[in-house]
A and B are shown apart, each in its own frame.
Chain A
Amino acid sequence: MDTKIYTIVSNKQLTRSIYEMKLEGDTSMITAPGQFLNIKLEGFYLRRPISICDWNENEITIVYKTVGQGTKHMATLEPGTELDILCSLGNGYDLEKIPANPVLAGGGVGVPPMYGLAKALVAQGKKPVVVLGFNTEHEVFYEEEFKALGADVKVVTADGSYGLKGFVTDGFDSADYACACGPEPMLKAVAAKAKDGQYSFEARMACGFGGCMGCSCETKYGAKRICKEGPVLEQEEIIW
C-alpha cells in the first residue's frame, strides 16, 4: 500500500455510463482480486475508491461508472494523464476458501472485481459459474471478456432485453459457495441462496486505509472498516 503515480494508457467507454481505464505503474502491492484503488483527481478533495478489475506486472485495469462529478471528470481524462493513486487497499477475496465450483455474481458496476476473481480462480484450475446482472441490454459489458477466461457465463437483465430475464439470483439454483459484488439487496439475495460465500461491500469513504472510521459497518464480530477489514466480508459474519 502506497501512493504512487500511474499513467493512463487508455480510457474507453464501454456503455453509456461505464468506462474502462488502463493504468500503467507499480502493481506489486496488489495481493488479491477484490482490492481497490483510491484515486486523487484534480479539483476534488477526496480520492475516488474504485475496485481493481484486472492487473498484470505493470498495468491495472479499472472499470467504473460515471455517477457523480468525480467519476464524470475521470471519464474525460486522456491517455498520458498522470494520476496520484493509493494502491492497493482492502483485503480482497480469500482464494483459498473458495471451492472448485463457486458461483460468482456481479451486478452492474459490481461486475469488474468479479473479472479479476474469475481469472485468479481459473488459474487455480477452479471452474466458476459467472452470473452477470444488468438492468437492460445496453448496460451489458464484459460478457466476452469473462467467456474468454473459459468461465461458464450467464447474463441476466432485469427487463429481459438480453440473456435471461430477472436478477442474478435467477441465474443459478443454489450454491455451495458464492462470491458477489453489487448493490446490497443483491448481495443479500445471493447469500440467501448460498451455503457460504464472500461478499464485497461499498461505502462512502474518506481515507480508504483505515484512518477515519468513515466507512465502518457492524458485523457479528464487531465493527469493521469496509476499506481495511473489507471490502470483502464472509457470509457468516454479515449482519444484513
Chain B
Amino acid sequence: MVDMKVTLSGLVLDNPVIPASGTFGYGKEYAEFYDINILGSISFKGTTVEPRFGNPQPRIAECSRGLINSVGLQNPGLKAVKEKELPELAEIYSKPVIANVSGFSIEEYVECAKAMDEEPQVGIIEVNVSCPNVHDGGMAFGTLPETAAEVTRAVKAVTTKPVYIKLSPNVTDIAAIAKACEEAGADGICLINTLLGMRINLEKRQPVIANKMGGFSGPAIFPVAVRMVYQVAKAVNIPVIGMGGVESARDVIEMMMAGATAVQVGAANLVNPYACKEIIEELPKVMEELGIEKLTDIIGIIE
C-alpha cells in the first residue's frame, strides 16, 4: 500500500489532488459525475465582497493544448457564498476546503478573508493576487513584491487559518514575490495562475475574446508551471501548491518533485469531468511503477 497523504500547514489531505478555483464551482456540478469526497480538498470559486457577473461574452477561446478564459471572477458575492454555496458544499463534501478570495482593494481582501476565517469548513484561505481578467485589482497586487506582501500582511492580521497566496506567472521574478509573501507571514504559496494570452479570429479580424486578452491554461503551460514551482520552492521554506496544466498522475508527481506539497488541477476538469477522479485512481499505480512508497518522500527532490 502506497501512502498518498500530504500535509499543508497541519492540515492532512488523503491525497494531494485539489481541483483549482474557478474550474470546479462549489463542487455540485462534479458531484453529478462522481463522489467528490475522494478529493484531497477543493479550492472553490473565487469570492469577492459584491456579486460579479464578470466580463462580456465571448470569454472562452480554444488554444493548442489549452484554452484562454476571461470569465473575470464571476461569483454570487460573499454573503451568498457564506449563506448558500458553502452550506450546499458541506452537504456533498465533508473535508476541509480551500477558500479562494479576491479583491479590488486591500480592504476587500481583508473583508473576504475575515469572513472565510469564520467558516468551520474552510481549512486554508487562498488569496488570489493573480487574476489576469480584472483591471485595477487581482493581478495588480501580485505583480510586485511590495504589494503582494502588503495584501499578505493585511489578511494575516485578521485571520487565524493558514493563508496561502496564489501568484501570477506574468511577472519577471516570481521567486522574489513568493519570498516577500513568506516574509509578510504567508503560510504557503500557490502557483501558477493563468498566463496572459490572446487569440485572433482571422476571418473576423478581431480578438476571439471580447476582453481581447485572458488567462491561458491547460497542458500547454505545464512546463512553465513546473519551472516556476521549482524556482519558488527553492526560494521559500513554506509549502507550495503547484498547478498549471496538470492532467495526469505523472504530472502530479512531476510537480511534487519540482517542490509542490500538493497539486491543483484546473483546465483538465473542463474537458474531462472525471479528471481528478482518474488522477487519484491512477496515482497508486504510477507510484508503484516509480518505486515511490510515500508521496512526501519526493517533494522537492530535484536539486
Contacts and interface: CB of A to CB of B under 8 A. Distances in A.
B269 A211 contact: yes
Nearest to B69: A214
Interface stretch (A100-108, A188-196, A199-207): A199-207
Contact of A86 (B59, B64, B273): B273
Contact of A212 (B23, B62, B65): B23
Contacts of A215: 57, 60
B271 A45 contact: yes
Classify the interface of chain A: helix, strand, loop or mixed: loop
B22 interface: yes
Contacts, number: 85
B67 A45 contact: yes
B200 interface: no
B67 A206 contact: yes
Interface string B20-31: 001111000110
Nearest to B55: A216
Interface in B19-64: 22-25, 29-30, 32-33, 45, 53-54, 57-64
Contacts of B45: 213
Contacts of B29: 207, 209-211, 228
Contact of A206 (B30, B53, B60): B60
B273 A213 contact: no
B233 interface: no
Contacts of A210: 25, 29
B62 A46 contact: yes
B61 A3 contact: no
17 contacts: A3-B274, A40-B271, A45-B62, A45-B63, A45-B64, A45-B66, A46-B67, A70-B62, A86-B273, A204-B61, A205-B60, A206-B60, A207-B29, A207-B273, A211-B269, A213-B45, A216-B71
Given A46-B60, A210-B29, A216-B53, 8 more contacts: A2-B33, A204-B58, A207-B29, A207-B271, A211-B273, A212-B60, A214-B60, A223-B53
Interface of B: 22-25, 29-30, 32-33, 45, 53-54, 57-67, 69, 71, 74, 208, 218, 267, 269-274
